[in-house]
Structure 1
Amino acid sequence: MSLRLHHKILGSGPPLLLLHGLYGAGVNWQGHARTLAARYRVLLPDLRNHGQSPHALQMDYPAMAADLLALLDREGLDQALVTGHSMGGKVAMTLAQHHPERVRALVVADIAPVDYALDDREHTHILDSLQHLPVADLSRREDADIALARAIPEAPVRRFLLMNLERGPEGFRWRIPLDILRQALPTLVGYPETGAPYEGPALFIRGERSDYIRNADRPLIEARFTRARLMTLKDTGHWLHVQAPGPFGQILQGFLDRHADHGPGDPP
């Protein structure tokens, strides 16, 4: 059963879905969305169990793709350009493979259609660290940052994760369901085996310092996305759209502009 996703819409023009990664929310794309809104109708959904969207025990890619189909249907959209980063990239790929008629073109940021089961220790560590944080005893958000510093020394990572900490009537609480995400982790690091190859335009952008898209993954990408192009963004890691927003944005908009269905009088 699909969920009614919380989302924001910016701008007008050809519809464009921007999908966030694990622990994120639609707001993660807001900087790029403001720029793209000059030419596109940008939809920023919070995926299930993230942001302000509903929680559900089922947490797999076909279910998340179904949520997006329901969103497109509610907005009266037959097709959309779809861009996703990390987990959002896997949702975007699943949508394209299972419902190719709804995806005009696809952009995947630093993730491949493969199983990362051997690399899930990082996420297990993150979820353990968040679950062991005594949120009920916190009086200030800064206390959470201090308490997490030993387990997660990277300040940018802590700031990103702590965006999910909110103050309720009875004190601080996690906005994301940590138990559900922990249970779903083996599924989230994988990728669905079913689905026909997507034959529409597809661009995969990887960070030069990231190993999420390896050269060995290229044959599988091209088998599942027959018109796929692969580009490497220099001097960037997994968070390439945040670490190099200018170059990433230029690549993204150039690809979207080539494949969008602009109406009469709109830019080509």
Structure 2
Amino acid sequence: MTRQIVELHHVDTGGAGRPLVVLHGLFGSADNWRSHIKRWQESRRVIAVDLRNHGKSPHQSGMGYAAQAADVDALLDRLAIDSCDLLGHSMGGKVAITLARQSPERVARLIVADIAPIAYEHGHEAIFKAMRAVERQPPADRKEADRIMSGFVETPAIRQFLATNLIRGENATLIWRVGLDEIEDDYAHIVAVPDGSGAYTGPTLVLRGGRSDYVGDDVLPAVESVLPEARIETISDAGHWLHAEQPEAFQEALARFLTA
């Protein structure tokens, strides 16, 4: 079966040298990385990507990691990038692992933020319910959207994060810009293991949040089998969104790794 490649929207700061390519997590976008990009672009080219069904990228069925990695690979082709440093958070981390396994020559250094190459339990049911509720009753403003989502999602920070995906529709109410149908229909592939076979043996940094349970000590053998050169670092007092919760510590950890 022919794989449908999606032409991904991206933000490119320009500049010389090997770029840092950044892949967001589920329900994220390139916009989530703006403050970090401002710092990184002082010393290097940065390319922040909207993965399929996210941000300003097209909607397309199929959320499997081979398909998502192929989208990123095609973007690198269009930008004439032979080699990059690749950073992925959460779902984006699994896309990055897949690309690194399938095209190791394109990934000089790999950074995986708070995800392991394992299958996870389904854990976004409440989020899907909240987003569908907003879809059924399109709100006039973000305050109303937050009120609707609060019936399903207790944590304000998560509701605020989801709200970054709201845009004005034709009738002036707020609608989701993500491909919610495509994401929910293929959610089983999102929680599955990354695609590819064998190990990526290039320099790798795995960052995990001290308050996150995504990369516990129990899954480190799985990390080592797929990423045998991985250096594991824990950012204390950070959860799954470690780059947002502890931005300075996140920046410092990347700087140590990328300049070593």
- TM-score, normalised by the number of residues in structure 2: 0.94
Cα distance, 1:194–1:139 mapped onto 2, change above 3 Å = closer
Give how far 1:139 is off.
2.0
Q: 1:72-221 counterparts in 2 under 5 A?
A: 72-116=76-120, 118=121, 120=122, 122-134=123-135, 136-170=137-171, 171-192=173-194, 194-221=196-223
Q: Assess if the C-alpha contact under 8 Å between 2:55 and 2:165 holds in 1.
A: yes
Give how far 1:132 is off.
2.1
1:239-265, Cα deviation, whole Å (9 max, x unpaired): 11111100110111221122xxxxxxx
Q: 1:17-28 counterparts in 2 under 5 A?
A: 17-28=21-32
Cα distance, 1:106–1:214 mapped onto 2, change above 3 Å = same
Distance 1:167 1:217 in 2: 42
Which residue pairs with 2:11 in the alignment? 8
Unaligned runs of 5+ in 1: 259-268
Q: 1:13-92 counterparts in 2 under 5 A?
A: 13-92=17-96
Structure 1 segments of 4 or more deviating over 4 A?
A: 134-137
Specify the SS of the correspondent of 2:39.
helix
Give how far 1:11 is off.
4.5
Cα distance, 1:143–1:2 mapped onto 2, change above 3 Å = same
Distance 1:36 1:254 in 2: 13
Specify the SS of the correspondent of 1:192.
coil
Q: Assess if the C-alpha contact under 8 Å between 2:138 and 2:175 holds in 1.
A: no
Give how far 1:128 is off.
1.6
Q: Which residue type is aligned with residue 101 of structure 1?
A: E
| Aligned residues: CA RMSD | 1.3
Distance 1:66 1:40 in 2: 25
Cα distance, 1:86–1:44 mapped onto 2, change above 3 Å = same
Specify the SS of the correspondent of 1:199.
coil
Distance 1:219 1:146 in 2: 42
Give how far 1:135 is off.
5.2
Q: Assess if the C-alpha contact under 8 Å between 1:15 and 1:81 holds in 2.
A: yes
1:190-238, Cα deviation, whole Å (9 max, x unpaired): 1135422101000101111111001121111111112111111111111
Number of equivalences: 255
Moved more, 87-96 or 189-198: 189-198
Distance 1:87 1:229 in 2: 20
Distance 2:65 2:138 in 1: 35
Give how far 1:140 is off.
2.0
Distance 1:174 1:36 in 2: 29
Q: Assess if the C-alpha contact under 8 Å between 2:29 and 2:49 holds in 1.
A: yes
Unaligned runs of 5+ in 2: none
Q: Assess if the C-alpha contact under 8 Å between 1:20 and 1:86 holds in 2.
A: yes
Distance 2:20 2:7 in 1: 18
Q: Assess if the C-alpha contact under 8 Å between 1:19 and 1:92 holds in 2.
A: yes
Q: Assess if the C-alpha contact under 8 Å between 2:65 and 2:195 holds in 1.
A: no
1:92-116, Cα deviation, whole Å (9 max, x unpaired): 1111011101100000000000000
Q: Assess if the C-alpha contact under 8 Å between 2:66 and 2:195 holds in 1.
A: no
Cα distance, 1:159–1:195 mapped onto 2, change above 3 Å = same
Specify the SS of the correspondent of 1:132.
helix
- TM-score, normalised by the number of residues in structure 1: 0.91
Percent of aligned pairs with the same residue?
42
Cα distance, 1:146–1:40 mapped onto 2, change above 3 Å = same
1:248 to 235, 247, 250: 250
